[in-house]
């Protein structure tokens, strides 16, 4: 069960959502191949997740679990609409490149299933800090992964050409994302003490115990 005495800022490094928690992997693998894609995704992910989790914290716990999950997903879908409008204004063309992954943010596991396990056990203030730390942790991973992948795969950084002689185009593909993320995750666990998930397979036990 969730240890309520864990620092709320753990989500940034020590219990990073991607590298430690095995969550929200697909956007990092598929969309995290250029910095511009990553920035657009980060903006959308941060806004939708924060708004949805904050709004979801007001859902009464008396409502059955199944209905609560549906409500969280609906809140995510509602938060998606204004965020998408703003993304079209600030990042034109990126939504087409990211495709369905932009819409899938609304049902990411931090909003639907993990919110009850990770956030709603805290009081409101600590909950918001925890949400922010998890979001920032994801953002950091997405930025680092996309920057390195763009550099090595396309020889550019933020769309600007960098003088790179040998390019590994496979690194820009989903399989390159899988392999690169796996290597980064291994290095992260080697460096960060306690960075390993309590149980990699089987995930957070609470997900299966409801």
Partner 1 sequence: MFIISEIVALLTTNLILTQALGTSTLFIAAGSRKNLLWTAVSISVFTTIGSFGACLLDSMLPDSLYDLKMLFYVLIIGMLYIISLTVLYFADRKDFGTTRKYIHVSAFNCAVMGTLFTISENAEAANLTMLDYICAGAEAGAGFILAAFVFTAAFKSLNSENVPSSFRGFPAALIYLGIISMAIYALM
Partner 2 sequence: MQNKTKSQRLIWIDIMMTLLTLAVMNFFYCGVRAIVLGLICMAVSFVSDIISLRLMHRRFTSDDLTCISDSLILYLMLPAIMDYRIAAIACVFATVAAKNVFGGRKNMIFSPAAAGYVFLFTSWKGNLLMYSQPHVHPDIFERAENLVNSASSMFNTTGRLNYNDFEILMGNVPGAVGTVSILLLAVSAIILLLRRDISVGAFFGTILGTAIFAFLVPVSTNPVDSLKYTLSMNMVLFSAIYIISDKRIAPRRNYYAFFYGFFIALFSYILVITTAKENAIVIVSLLFTPVALGFRNLEKRIDGLVKEEKQAEELWEAIKSGEYEIPEAVYDE
Which of partner 1, partner 2, none binds 202 (CB below 5-8 Å, type-dependent)?
partner 1
CA distance 150 to 94: 15
**Residue 38's closest CA among 151, 147, 174, 185?**
147
Q: Is residue 152 within the footprint of partner 1 (CB under 8 A)?
A: no
Nearest approach, Cβ of residue 179 and partner 2 (Å): 6
Task: Extract the runs of DSSP E, i.e. beta strands, from the chain.
Answer: 156-157, 160-161
Nearest approach, Cβ of residue 149 and partner 2 (Å): 13
Which of partner 1, partner 2, none binds 4 (CB below 5-8 Å, type-dependent)?
none
Q: Is residue 84 within the footprint of partner 1 (CB under 8 A)?
A: yes
Going 136 to 57 to 80 to 111, the CA torsion angle's sign is positive
Nearer to partner 2, 76 or 172 (CB): 172
Single out the residue of 8, 13, 25, 141 in contact with partner 1 (rule: CB under 8 A): 25
**Residue 111's closest CA among 49, 68, 28, 59?**
49
Nearer to partner 2, 43 or 188 (CB): 188
**Where does 91-123 have alpha helices with state H?**
94-98, 100-104, 114
Single out the residue of 4, 7, 63, 81 in contact with partner 1 (rule: CB under 8 A): 81
Single out the residue of 8, 13, 56, 76 in contact with partner 1 (rule: CB under 8 A): 76
CA distance 117 to 122: 10
Q: Which residues of this chain interact with partner 2, rule CB under 8 A? A: 165-166, 168-171, 173, 175, 179, 182-183, 186
Residue 159 corresponds to which tokens in the numbers above?
A: 């769309």
Nearest approach, Cβ of residue 129 and partner 1 (Å): 24
Q: Which helix (H) or strand (E) holds 139?
A: helix 124-154
Q: Is residue 208 within the footprint of partner 1 (CB under 8 A)?
A: yes
Nearer to partner 1, 85 or 165 (CB): 85
């Amino acid at each position: 069960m969730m240890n309520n005495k864990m620092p709320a800022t753990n989500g940034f490094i020590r219990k990073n959502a991607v590298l430690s928690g095995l969550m929200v992997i697909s956007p990092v693998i598929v969309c995290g191949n250029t910095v511009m894609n990553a920035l657009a995704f980060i903006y959308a992910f941060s806004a939708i997740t924060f708004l949805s989790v904050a709004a979801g914290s007001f859902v009464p716990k008396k409502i059955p679990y199944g209905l609560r999950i549906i409500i969280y997903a609906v809140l995510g879908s509602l938060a998606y609409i204004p965020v998408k409008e703003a993304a079209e204004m600030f990042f034109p063309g990126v939504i087409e490149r990211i495709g369905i992954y932009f819409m899938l943010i609304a049902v990411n596991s931090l909003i639907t299933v993990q919110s009850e396990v990770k956030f709603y056990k805290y009081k409101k203030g600590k909950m918001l800090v925890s949400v922010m730390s998890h979001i920032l942790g994801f953002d950091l991973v997405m930025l680092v992964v996309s920057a390195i992948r763009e550099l090595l795969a396309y020889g550019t950084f933020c769309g600007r050409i960098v003088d790179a002689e040998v390019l590994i185009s496979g690194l820009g593909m989903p399989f390159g994302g899988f392999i690169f993320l796996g290597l980064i995750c291994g290095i992260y666990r080697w460096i960060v003490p306690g960075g390993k998930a309590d149980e990699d397979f089987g995930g957070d036990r609470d997900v299966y115990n409801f």
